[in-house]
Structure 1
Amino acid sequence: MSLEGPLCHADLVVVPSQTPLGKVVPRHASVAVGEALADTRVVLVNGARQCGKSTLVRLLAKDRAAEWRNLDTPVVRQAALTDPAGFVAFPELMVIDEIQRVPDLLLAIKEQVDTYPAPGRYLLTGSARVLGLRALPDLLPGRMETIELWPFSQGEIDGTADGFVDALFTEGERLRHTSAVTRNEYAERVVRGGFPEAVARSNPRRRERFLDSYVSDLIARDVSQLAEIERVPQMRALVRLLAARSGQLLVANAMSTAVGLSATTIHRYLALLDEVFLTKRIPAWSRNISSRAISTPKVAFVDSGVAANLLGADSRSLVRPDGQFGPLLEGFVLMELARQLTWSEQRAELFHYRTKDQVEVDAVLENRQGQVIGIEVKASSTVRSDDFRGLRHLADRLGDDFIVGVVLYTGTQTLPFGDRMRAMPVSALWEGR
């Protein structure tokens, strides 16, 4: 199986490609957006730039009498700044693309939906965490639902259900999966990532050009618009350093000397990178089961292709003995889990776990009932009993609340390693159900 060409084949988000007709990929988030429009006045689709937000909302709105406003267009943005109330005055559905460009519009929208409280009035997109903007004049409590859209998941690319999270919570250790995906093919998926433009480019060099431009434009445009960046070269150095530490603990003070920035500035820049969806922090998990649990978050890149490109890694170099396959594969898995949690039936949250004694679990999923799943990620095609050390630590302390511990590895079979412990192929993430 080769992953160099576009693997897109269904009916929702248009993906540019080398072919005259292009390809389309169905997005799992489309169901949630459609349901929200039926009963919520304002719906916000928020996510990274170029992950398919505009295309998704355009297709959802095409059969409605919708008014489209793109705030990336200078004249449209100027009209919004000059007359916010007049700009949003429309009796039917209005689609406003890149709402973070003019956050003052949210106050005018609030007035509109309070006066005419029908559902499906406004469908917004944003490329920054809009509700975290310091200049936001007002929120829309009880009036707006936010749905995060990520770059393509592996299941969206392959046309599978992406049901791993739900299957683990419902089936636990009964879940089985056999895989034909090789270690090299996993490496290809990691370096390709999930941005539609990157998935569509069959030439690896052209994909690298896109990813280079993506990061450069994000720093020069979106990050700079959110805050004054006094030292852009150091920001770029910080981004590269974060790529090298993907899946590791986020110790901001330790990065200060490496990039020549104060700890205060490091903290501010890290927050900005989260706001524009370049990185995601995975919080530490604790239920007071161990007083030695640490509270430091992990950092992962929203897209593994961006992280690999920043490190200059291709699929061949990644699997060499001195490659970065392990950390990048862990970040890849963490973000596949994060994607699934936006549409899974189980309302669960993603954490990591580590103690001062170096006992750790790469990913911890906890649902609203307090049930827990532990996941370890190994880049090798074999698994040892010692790889379950952290998972057994959790199982011993949680008792019946611990459903299953899974070591995801690059082998082909599901294998038992004791009570509620299983080794499973990484591809179970998007093929297991």
Structure 2
Amino acid sequence: MIPRDIASYLKNLSFKYPVVTMTGPRQSGKTTLVRHLFDDKPYVNMEHIETRQYAQSDPIGFLNRYSDGAVIDEIQRAPDLLSYIQVIVDEQQKNGMFILTGSSQFKLMVNLSQSLAGRSALLCLLPFSIHELQARYSELDYVDYIYRGFYPRIYDHDLTPTTALSDYFETYVERDIRQLSRIQNLMLFQKFVRLCAGRIGQLLNTANLSNDIGVSHTTIREWISLLQTSYILFLLEPYHGNIRKRLVKSPKLYFYDVGFASFLLGIENRSQIETHPLRGNLFENLALMEVLKYRYNRGLKHNLSFYRDSNGNEIDIFFSIAQHLLPIEVKSGETITNSFFNNFKNVSKVISKFPYGKALIYGGDRYDVQNNTQILNIHHIHPYLSGIEKQ
């Protein structure tokens, strides 16, 4: 088992809260992790039909079987249990009783806020990070990661990414989508997901998607929300600071797993990535998710945005540290040129102070400073941010 960075934070929170809830995409490793860390607790899977029916028909009788708590997997499949769990933890006043997992972000969050507000710590486990993989897979470069993605099964069972991600897509559409929505035309929805991959790293334009698919703007917004809820799409919101510039209001579209985006683009081997017109966008997605995983794996909420004004000046990632911003540019090229620093110069005319410096993530191997900017590659992201936050 590849150690997960979030493990120590999960274990620590179980000593401080009666309930700890871990969300994240299907097959991100939630079940493996919680069963490993809490192997002394009984395990219950709400995907099991008979178990779920028992929990739904007789929630008190069901929970009486677990008077000392349990690990309950896919809790969103039996959301009414949360109210009964609230009663138990309020009565017993013991920490670490229940460890819950769920794969439906919105549905689970709504039920948690209604039933377990203040009683449950909430964590998010995404698929592997580069930081978690590099000790065992030091030979992999960024092209490998873009092709493979980060779902644990691909690494644990040495699966061919194209086959594994195709199965994942079919399972996701056939099971999760049918549970979460009443989409009538699944083939049209599949086409929509693939079109989203073609817009990776770009501003979300629902009107454009609506025209290309032939459905209403409302439907597109519903589908976008559905993909966010099930941890497929990640929307990076624009920075809205108190500055005298007209800033864009639309978010940028990314995928939680860059390998899944590559599959949707029809990429079947790593050599196709090297010449692909969206290589830069895929690399940007890779870097953004590594920054996001750095936050989530430390039990923190994401603090990311991007900057773009009406003149086209842009910073790929703003990493917030208290009231300050760390601007991060992402370039897939392996040769650093002066043009890589242009956006830093432009944004510095609007925001004059960056006390934590600036960072450039690129496709090469350097780790040094140029033009008052820290140069790093994808393998340096975790230690670099850790050092920045300790300043």
Common fold by TM > 0.5: yes
**Counterpart in the other structure of 1:80:** 55
Consecutive unaligned residues in structure 2, runs of 5 or more: none
Contact 1:43 1:122 in 2 (8 A): yes
Q: Deviations over 1:59-95 (max 9, x none)?
A: 1111x3x222100111001111101222223321311
**Aligned partners of 1:263, 1:134: CA distance in 2, in Å?**
25
- Aligned mates of 2:47, 2:201 — CA distance in 1: 33
> Which residue does 2:153 correspond to in 1?
197
Whole-angstrom distance in 2 between the partners of 1:351 and 1:79: 44
The residue that corresponds to 1:57 in the other structure is 34
The DSSP-based 3-state class of the residue aligned with 2:56 is helix
Where do 1:150-165 residues align within 5 Å?
150-159=126-135
Report the counterpart of residue 225 of structure 1 in structure 2: 179
- Superposition pairs for residues 326-337 of structure 1, below 5 Å? 326-337=280-291
Q: 1:136 to 1:260 in 2, by over 3 A?
A: farther
Residues 123 and 299 of structure 2 are in contact (CA less than 8 Å); yes or no, is this contact kept in structure 1? Answer: no
- The 1:137–1:408 alpha-carbon spacing in structure 2 relative to 1, beyond 3 Å, is closer
Instruction: Report if aligned partners of 1:46, 1:147 keep a CA contact under 8 Å in 2.
Output: yes
> Which residue in the other structure is 1:40 paired with?
17
1-structure distance, mates of 2:302, 2:222: 28
SS, match of residue 398 in structure 1 = coil
Residue 99 of structure 1: which of 70, 75, 85 is its match? 75
Whole-angstrom distance in 2 between the partners of 1:38 and 1:105: 22
Q: For 2:346, which of 384, 393, 404 is the aligned residue?
A: 393
1:233: how far off? 1.3
Deviation string 1:373-401 (CA, Å, 9 cap, x unpaired) is 11111111122222222223333433334
Identity %: 29
- Residues in 2 aligned to 1:120 and 1:108: alpha-carbon distance in whole angstroms: 16
Report the equivalent of 1:380: 333
Q: May I ask how many residue pairs the two structures share in their alignment?
A: 382
Local SS of the residue matching 1:146: strand
CA distance 1:339–1:116, change in 2 (3 Å): same
TM-score (normalised: structure 1):
0.83
Tell me the CA shift for residue 219 of structure 1: 1.6
1:161-310 matches, within 5 Å, as 185-202=141-158, 206-310=160-264
Structure 1 pair 323/315, CA: closer, same or farther in 2 (3 Å)?
farther
1:94-173 mapped onto 2 (5 Å cutoff):
94-130=70-106, 138-159=114-135
Contact 1:250 1:297 in 2 (8 A): yes
2:44 corresponds in structure 1 to: 69
Asked which structure has the greater RCO (Cα within 8 Å, sep 6+), the reply is: 1
RMSD of Structure 2 on Structure 1 (CA): 2.2
| Aligned CA distance change for structure 1 residues 325 and 188 (closer, same or farther; 3 Å) | same
TM-superposed deviation, 1:335: 0.7
Q: 1:117 to 1:405 in 2, by over 3 A?
A: same
Which residue pairs with 1:422 in the alignment? 374
Q: Is the 8 A contact 1:131 1:139 kept in 2?
A: no
2:320 equivalent to 1:343: no
The separation in 2 between residues aligned to 1:122 and 1:134, in whole angstroms, is: 18
How far apart, CA to CA, are the structure 1 residues paired with 2:320 and 2:383?
22
SS of the residue 2:114 aligns to? coil
Matches of 2:126 and 2:300 in 1, distance apart? 18
Match of 2:103, as an amino acid? S
Q: Distance in 1 between matches of 2:170 and 2:110?
A: 24
How far residue 422 of structure 1 moved from its aligned partner, in angstroms, is: 3.2
Taking structure 1 as reference, are residues 133 and 147 closer, same or farther at Cα in structure 2, changes over 3 Å only? closer
SS at match of 2:319: strand
CA contact (8 A) 2:292 2:302 kept: no
* Paired AA for residue 156 in structure 1: E
Please give the alpha-carbon distance, in whole angstroms, between the structure 2 residues aligned to 1:115 and 1:345. 27
- Tell whether the 8 Å contact from 1:201 to 1:207 is kept in structure 2 after alignment: no
